[in-house]
Amino acid sequence: METTMTRIAIVVGSTRPNRVGRSVADWVHDNAQQHEGADFELVDLADYDLPLLDEPMPPAMGQYQNDHTKAWAEKIASYDGFIFVTPEYNHSVPGALKNAVDYLYAEWNNKAIGFVSYGSAGGTRAVEAWRLIAAELQMADVRAQVFLTFGDDFEDMSTFAPTDGATGALGDVFGQVVAWAEALKTLRA
């Protein structure tokens, strides 16, 4: 029986001009290269230019009509797990990432998800909201998370400069997401 390498997407959850999310995601991706046992790939929402959800059928039906949805579905279906790099907007999730998630259903099912969040309170409230969303999508969210505060991990609230503690916590996220992604393979088979 052939086994394939576990594939984990690091999803950039902001599409805003001048966003810090891309530098955070690049840091996550660079550190992921040191973690064995999985292939990590950066997936930037800005590259997909998804409009507000415009499919005529509910995503759970899997009857996608639009080419942009089909391309997004194919991309997401190819992964075993995810690390969302998510900002916190107004005590919750960013609209662009929520919209992208809402486009699909089965492509998220029975996959692991971890979070690297940032914001004035480290993005922790966004992650709490994401955990509820992940449960509805039949995803396994891991306990470990990285939360980055503008006061500690950014210079002038814009230049990303992570602490050693953040880097250490990131290793735990990698380990848990990969372990759960591998454990859930039998459910996806």
pLDDT at site 1: 46
Token pair for residue 94? 């960013």
Q: What is the CATH number of the domain that holds 176?
A: 3.40.50.360
* Confidence bin at 3 (pLDDT 50/70/90): low
Mean pLDDT value across the chain? 96
- Collapse the DSSP code of 160 into the 3-class scheme (helix H, G, I; strand E, B; otherwise coil) and give the result: strand
Q: Is residue 67 in some structural domain?
A: yes
CB atoms under 10 Å from CB of 88, counted, come to 22
Q: Is residue 38 in some structural domain?
A: yes
Q: Is residue 1 in some structural domain?
A: no
Q: How many domains does the chain have?
A: 1
Q: Which of 168, 167, 150 is nearest to 88 (CA)?
A: 150
pLDDT at site 123: 96
Using a pLDDT cut of 70, give the percent of the chain over it: 98
Beta-carbon contacts of 137 under 8 Å, excluding residues fewer than 6 positions away, are: 101, 105, 108, 109
Q: Is residue 116 in some structural domain?
A: yes
Q: Is residue 92 in some structural domain?
A: yes
Rounded-to-10 torsion of CA 28, 41, 74, 101: 0
Q: Is residue 64 in some structural domain?
A: yes
**Structural domain of residue 10, as residue ranges?**
6-187
Q: Which of 175, 166, 165 is nearest to 32 (CA)?
A: 175
Kindly report, residue by residue over 63-122, the tens digit of the pLDDT: 999 999 999 999 999 999 999 999 999 999 999 999 999 999 999 999 999 999 999 899
Yes or no: say if 113 and 84 are a contact pair by the CB < 8 Å rule: yes
Q: Is residue 81 in some structural domain?
A: yes
Kindly report, residue by residue over 159-185, the tens digit of the pLDDT: 999 999 999 999 999 999 999 999 999
pLDDT at site 158: 85
* Confidence bin at 144 (pLDDT 50/70/90): very high
| Chain centroid offset of residue 178 CA | 13
Rg of the Cα trace of the chain?
Answer: 16
Concatenate the DSSP letters of all residues of 109-146 into one string. TT-EEEEEEEETTTTHHHHHHHHHHHHHTT-EEEEEEE
Rounded-to-10 torsion of CA 19, 173, 48, 74: 180
